[in-house]
Amino acid sequence: MHVHREDTVVVLAGKDRGKKGRVLKIINKTDRVLVEKINMVKRHTRPSQELPQGGIVEKEASIHASNLQVICAKCGKPTRIAHKTLATGKKTRVCKKCGEILDKEK
Contacts 24+ apart (CB under 8 A), 35-42: 35/9, 35/11, 35/60, 35/63, 35/68, 36/60, 38/11, 38/63, 39/14, 39/15, 39/63
Give the tens place of pLDDT for each residue, 30-84.
999 999 999 999 999 999 999 999 999 999 999 999 999 999 999 999 999 999 9
* Residue 52: inside a domain: yes
Give the tens place of pLDDT for each residue, 35-47.
999 999 999 999 9
- Same structural domain, 23 and 46: yes
- Same structural domain, 64 and 81: no
Report pTM: 0.87
* Residue 29: inside a domain: yes
- Same structural domain, 84 and 66: no
Total domains in the chain come to: 2
The set of residues, in sequence order, having a beta carbon less than 8 Å from that of 97 and lying 6+ positions away, is 72, 75, 77, 79
* Residue 60: inside a domain: yes
